[in-house]
Amino acid sequence: MAVHDTPRPFTPDSLAARWDCSAETVRQLVHRRELRGFRVGRMIRIPADAAEEYECQTSQSDACAAASASTGQILRRESESVISLRHAPERRQRPKAATDT
């Protein structure tokens, strides 16, 4: 595909209009690296194929399943272990013992 045949990348505003969400939601997806994007100076751009990949991963569409080799699901063997991270409970400071001086 020649450079001029490549679809133009989306802006957060144009992709938000397509997905019926806020532009800030799109920016956060890019920031969290859930959606592939790039910067041109301070502006964020999302390639059209990245938007389509994200749509296929988050929807249950037959059109997406036929077009892609991956359904976005991760299959694990029973022998593989899974690590689950949780926050430790907050520690409370103990009162300092009174000292005689």
Q: What is the CATH number of the domain that holds 29?
A: 1.10.1660
Amino acid making up residue 9: P
pTM of the model: 0.57
Per the structure, how many domains does the chain have? 1
Place of tokens 């910067």: 39
Tell me the two tokens of residue 96: 């300092």
What is the spatial distance between Cα 90 and Cα 43, in angstroms, rounded to a whole number? 39
Q: What is the mean pLDDT of residues 4-30?
A: 93
Tell me the two tokens of residue 66: 């036929």
pLDDT at 1 over 70: no
Strands (DSSP E) contained in 5-101 are 38-40, 43-45
Quote the pLDDT of residue 72: 46
Residue 45's domain comprises 3-65
pLDDT tens digits along 39-98: 999 999 999 999 999 999 887 666 665 555 444 444 455 555 666 566 667 777 888 887
Instruction: Tell me, yes or no, whether 97 lies in a domain.
Output: no
Instruction: Tell me, yes or no, whether 48 lies in a domain.
Output: yes
Cβ atoms within 10 Å of 57's Cβ, excluding its own: 15
